[in-house]
Amino acid sequence: MRINTKETIMNATERRKRFRAILAGDELVYAPHVWDPVSARVAEDLGFEVGVFSAHAAEWMVTGGIEMCRVTLTELAEQARRICRASSISVLVTGPFGFGNALNVMRAVEELENAGISALGIEDTALPLTFGSVMEGGQKPVYDADLKADSDAAKAVDVFRLINRIDDQPMLPLEEAIGRYRAALAARQDPSFVIGARSNMFVVGGTQEAVRRATAYAKAGAEAIWLTSPTREGIEAVHQATKVPLIPGGGILKDTTIPGSHEKFLITNGVRIASAGGANFTTTVKANYDALLALRDGLRAGKSIDALRPPVPSVEIMARIMRVSQDDEWIKKFMN
């Protein structure tokens, strides 16, 4: 696993060149989810070079709900800009459905490129949702064979299935999807900005359809392909067919065999960036809920607020994340 140990300040083009260098390299980089300036700074502080800002996270941050395509392009670009302004992490935005036809995709590329992100993965799902197309109550929980129903891992899968109701939606006709990717490439101004495809081809169509679409997207110019919930066999098949860098998400990152063998398999089969999942977001919800629950119950029991304070980060960690030394330097330099 590659981790950056040097703190570097980069502009948007430098961050994009780093992202491209990772895609062209021979190492595997894990990318945690980021959703606001603080989460991006935490990831950067811990040495992560790439962060994923997903449509799921955008929906959570803007509407407080599950992903239902209710976030506007303006809202998505504004939040992406805040994340990019606050850190030097390379941000990959995944899942936006293009906000309409190929012309709308072009506008999305313009806005998100100007927001400072490093890469954009555009979906080939037929969205937004239409009448009668989504199951009431979401999809049924689907556990991997080696997950016990009451385990933490199974609970994480259950939460994901609760909040994600669109990955099994029909895909766009292939010709329309290709047109969107070609339009996205035409709208790009900075050649270092990466335009990729994000596809649920394994969820909806299986390996044969995945290979067909991945091959077509690569020929259309997609520079990386995000694969939702691929199998090992599926990753091998897509890699053999396209040679385009792959970014898997959803279930493929666990392995119970020889330590290190899974990373070797991924690298051998064209994977250069792997989503680390959104557990860091859902755990912040749990931490906030648990802290306020303890506060409420403690106050009801007559305890003082001071006795109910939850554990907090150290002063050193908070100072690094909030860039206190930078502010102090600027105050000394420009305000005295």
Encode pLDDT of 74-106 as tens digits.
999 999 999 999 999 999 998 767 678 999 999
pLDDT category at 2 given cuts 50, 70, 90 is low
CA-based max dimension of the chain: 67
Of 241 and 229, more confident: 241
pLDDT per residue over 151-185, tens digit each? 565 565 566 556 565 556 778 899 999 999 999 99
Residue 193: inside a domain: yes
Could you tell me the CATH number of the domain that includes residue 186? 3.20.20.60
Residue 307 lies in a domain: no
- More confident position, 43 or 162: 43
328 located within any domain = no
Question: Is residue 7 in some structural domain?
Answer: no
Rounded to whole angstroms, the Cα distance separating 132 from 234 reads: 30
The predicted pLDDT at position 199 comes to 85
What whole-number percentage of the chain has pLDDT above 70?
Answer: 82
Query: What are the backbone dihedrals phi and psi of residue 88, each rounded to the nearest 5 degrees, phi first?
Result: -105, 15
Complete DSSP assignment for 101-115 = SHHHHHHHHHHHHHH
Residue 93 vs residue 70, higher pLDDT: 93
Q: Which amino acid is at 279?
A: A
At 221, which amino acid appears? Answer: G
Residue 296 lies in a domain: no
Residue 6 lies in a domain: no
Full-model pTM: 0.87
Identify whether the C-beta of residue 56 lies closer than 8 Å to the C-beta of residue 40.
no
Q: Which domain does 153 fall in, by range? A: 12-286
Number of domains in the chain: 1
Contacts 24+ apart (CB under 8 A), 234-237: 234/202, 234/207, 234/210, 235/266, 235/269, 235/270, 235/271, 236/269, 237/207, 237/210, 237/211
pLDDT at 146 over 70: no
> Residue 144: its pLDDT value, please?
45
Whole-number pLDDT of residue 99: 79
- Judge whether 274 and 28 are in contact, CB under 8 Å: yes
Residues with Cβ within 8 Å of 235's Cβ and at least 6 positions away in sequence, in order, are 227, 246, 248, 252, 266, 269, 270, 271
Two tokens, residue 187: 């709208």
Which residue has better confidence, 9 or 260? 9
Q: What is the pLDDT of residue 22?
A: 98
Percent of the chain with pLDDT over 90: 57
Adjacent-strand bridge partners of 91 = 51
Does residue 313 lie in a domain region? no
56, part of any domain: yes
Residue type, 99: F
| pLDDT at residue 139 tops 60 | no
